[in-house]
Structure 1
Amino acid sequence: MLILDNIISDRGSKYAVSGGPCTSEEEAKAFIKALCRKKKFAKATHNTWAVLCADTPVKNDDGEAGAGMVILRMLERERLRDHIIVVTRWFGGKHLGGDRFRHVQEAVRIYLDELRAA
């Protein structure tokens, strides 16, 4: 599990991104459960995620409507299969509007760059 914490901050909201190997929706749920064993992530406002599995793409917005699709599209563009990416947000009290999607995209870009460098 690769976790990149405190990568984006905007109007009080803070973001992290994490990911790792994942081949099914069950594994994705187990990954989220493991991530949320860390108290900080369990208290997050949103843990949005997506994974391109052999069977079908799977995503979860976790209350951040549309964010899972943003992650999924980026995974498709990269042709990154069997790998979950989770974007975590701690709400800072001010609504970000459309900027939240820009932040999700940037978080995924940061993760993919880190993955390539490893």
Structure 2
Amino acid sequence: MSQHPDLKVFDKIISDRGSRYAVSGGPVRDATEVAALLTELRRSKRFAKATHHSWAAVMGGDPVKDDDGESGAGALILQMLERAGLQDHVVIVTRWYGGKHLGGDRFRHVADAVRHYLRETGLG
């Protein structure tokens, strides 16, 4: 899917009540590189149709996050990256909303997606 050599994508990792999740990420040094990876992800028609691309990164010691409408998701991703000591790397959790509210389960899914990324990339 990706033309960007540093973008790692793990698609269709979680499904619950119609909502589906993927997790992606890659090394970044600044906000411009984060934007470039998000743009690359959205080049795929499937990812362009996603409801949310929540993400977080710690770049140069500065924490940055964006919920993209999934309230609280960016903060959770950021907390997990800080706990893992991951610097200069963005992790993006993508959700396709399935029509049913997941309540607190959505936070569990975001956390599981980040854990999946850290495990599969060996960064965790």
Q: TM-score scaled by structure 1?
A: 0.96
- Report runs of 4+ in structure 1 exceeding 4 Å deviation: none
Distance 1:24 1:103 in 2: 27
Question: Do structure 1's residue 13 and structure 2's residue 19 form an aligned pair?
Answer: yes
Contact 2:53 2:67 (8 Å CA) reproduced: yes
* 1:49-68 equivalent positions in 2, closer than 5 A: 49-68=55-74
Computed over aligned residues only, the root mean square deviation of the Cα atoms, in angstroms, reads: 1.0
Query: What amino acid is aligned across from residue 46 of structure 1 in structure 2?
Result: H
Question: Do structure 1's residue 82 and structure 2's residue 70 form an aligned pair?
Answer: no
Distance 2:16 2:83 in 1: 26
Shift of 1:13: 0.2
Greater mean deviation of Cα atoms: 99-108 or 49-58 = 49-58
Specify which of 27, 31, 37 is matched with residue 31 of structure 1.
Answer: 37
Q: Percent identity?
A: 60
Contact 2:61 2:87 (8 Å CA) reproduced: no
In structure 1, the partner of 2:4 is none
